[in-house]
Amino acid sequence: MRSPGMLLQEDLLLFERVQKVSTTHFIKHFNCNKKTAEELFVDSNAQIRENAKEWLKLTAENYSIVAVLIATVAFSAA
């Protein structure tokens, strides 16, 4: 299973690539719900974004714990 952060990054890169090759008319065009492509992207990826935020917090906490353990061992060995 891939991380939600990577999934969101891939979706964002794909959106940016499509945005580069599309004309301005299609990017600023409103659909029947009065939403642009960017608004649709944000709405459709809201759950992935929340999952990515939680994943990033947990990953940062885990790396912080590992860093403290490494610093403790290095300090006690010196």
3-state secondary structure of 46: helix
Residue-level pLDDT at 61: 94
Q: In angstroms, rounded to a whole number, what is the distance separating the alpha carbons of residues 47 and 35?
A: 18
Structure confidence by residue, pLDDT tens digits, 25-54:
888 889 899 998 899 999 999 999 999 999
Residue-level pLDDT at 7: 92
Residue 55: closest CA among 14, 1, 3 = 3
User: Do the Cβ atoms of 48 and 10 come closer than 8 Å?
Assistant: no
With pLDDT > 70 as the criterion, what percentage of the chain qualifies? Answer: 99
H helices of 1-78, where?
Answer: 4-21, 24-28, 37-44, 46-77
Q: What is the domain partition of the chain in residue ranges?
A: 4-77
Residue 49, judged by CB atoms within 10 A of its CB (0-12, 13-18, 19+), counts as middle
